[in-house]
């Protein structure tokens, strides 16, 4: 356990520029992931997030091979996936099959690209499990721009998107542009997923894009409260996981996933206790 949980030297590490960059990146990612998570859960798009993460992994692997920024490659791959999922899988019955096809192709291609990459093995491993060392000034700038873009877009489309998520048939009847909102929201998910891959890895992107929203849904039906709670859970998981991973020198993905899962368990227990009180 001492190898997993240790704070020896954490204070010195927190003074390092790359650690400060990683903490800022984690905070920004927690903000946008928490804002999107409740809507992702409400729209049943967990599998879409998983598929998008695989294409972000493929784009990152291609970027490694070409010698360009991993963040740029991950964004390109995930946005392409988001457009495919949004345009070809608008119907619920088609969505899973489209995602499954694209996911299988993207994962196979990503593994092939990593096998061709002649660089350090740690760079390959980081795409799967995340690495705070990968957060440089370029990645941070991309993250800031995408965070502003996602939040500004959500401020404009939040109300019609929430309406379309809770009752799509009535939303269509009321003139809400559901066919436009679906691919647009898929692209927003793709951008956030792409930025999460270098930090938490392609394997555990769901820990910051799904778990906070699922946890919030256990304790409240209010969209505003659920969003605030999801942001808090995502921030605690990402920032706390980053700090806990410093001294052991291990990938942050395991710490982030564990903290987020504990948050989900706490919310589930609270939700069940509240339900029992109401029943009583």
**Interior/surface letters 24-62, b for 16+ CB within 10 angstroms, e for the rest:** ebbbbbbbbbbbbbbbbbbbebbbbbbbbbbbbbbbbbb
pLDDT score of 132: 66
Higher confidence at residue 135 or residue 181? 181
Residue 44 banded pLDDT, cuts 50, 70, 90: confident
Whether 193 shows a pLDDT value over 60: the answer reads yes
Whether 215 shows a pLDDT value over 90: the answer reads yes
- Look at 130-139, 179-188, 242-251, 256-265 and tell me which has the smallest mean pLDDT: 130-139
Higher confidence at residue 224 or residue 105? 224
DSSP 202: S
pLDDT score of 134: 64
Q: What is the value of pTM for the model shown? A: 0.82
Q: In the block, which residue shows the tokens 């020198």?
A: 249
Residues 57-96: pLDDT tens digits? Answer: 788 788 878 887 776 777 788 888 777 776 665 555 666 7
DSSP 134: G
Whether 153 shows a pLDDT value over 70: the answer reads yes
Helix axes 137-166, 17-42, angle to 10 degrees: 10
Query: How crowded is residue 231: how many other Cβ atoms within 10 Å of its Cβ?
Result: 21
Residues 245-271: pLDDT tens digits? Answer: 887 777 788 888 899 999 999 999 998
Q: In the block, which residue shows the tokens 């088609």?
A: 94
Cα(35)–Cα(67) distance, rounded to whole angstroms? 33
Whether 198 shows a pLDDT value over 90: the answer reads no
pLDDT score of 262: 94
* Extended beta strands in the chain, E state: none
**C-alpha torsion 99→101→104→110, nearest 10:** -80
Cα(150)–Cα(137) distance, rounded to whole angstroms? 20
Chain-centroid distance of CA 120 in Å reads 25
Long-range CB contact pairs, 72-75, < 8 A, 24+: 72/142, 74/194, 74/195, 74/197, 74/198, 75/142, 75/146, 75/190, 75/191, 75/194, 75/195
């Amino acid at each position: 356990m001492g190898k997993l949980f240790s704070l020896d030297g954490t204070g010195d590490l927190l003074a390092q520029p790359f650690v400060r960059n990683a903490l800022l990146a984690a905070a920004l990612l927690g903000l946008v992931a928490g804002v999107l998570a409740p809507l992702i859960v409400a729209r049943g798009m967990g599998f879409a997030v998983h598929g998008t993460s695989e294409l972000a992994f493929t784009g990152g692997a291609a970027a490694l091979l070409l010698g360009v920024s991993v963040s740029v490659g991950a964004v390109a791959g995930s946005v392409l996936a988001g457009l495919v999922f949004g345009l070809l899988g608008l119907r619920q019955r088609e969505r899973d099959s489209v995602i499954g096809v694209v996911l299988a192709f993207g994962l196979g291609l990503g593994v092939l690209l990593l096998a061709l990459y002649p660089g350090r093995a740690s760079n390959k491993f980081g795409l799967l499990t995340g690495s705070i060392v990968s957060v440089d000034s370029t990645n941070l700038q991309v993250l800031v721009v995408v965070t502003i873009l996602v939040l500004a877009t959500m401020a404009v489309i939040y109300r019609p998107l929430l309406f379309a998520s809770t009752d799509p048939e009535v939303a269509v009847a009321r003139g809400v542009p559901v066919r436009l909102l679906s691919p647009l929201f898929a692209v927003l998910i793709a951008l956030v997923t792409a930025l999460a891959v270098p930090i938490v890895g392609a394997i555990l992107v769901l820990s910051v894009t799904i778990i906070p929203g699922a946890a919030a849904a256990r304790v409240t039906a209010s969209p505003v409260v659920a969003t605030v709670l999801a942001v808090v859970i995502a921030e605690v998981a990402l920032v706390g996981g980053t700090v806990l991973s410093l001294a052991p020198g291990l990938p942050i993905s395991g710490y982030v996933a564990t903290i987020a899962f504990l948050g989900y368990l706490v919310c589930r227990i609270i939700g069940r206790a509240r339900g029992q009180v109401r029943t009583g």
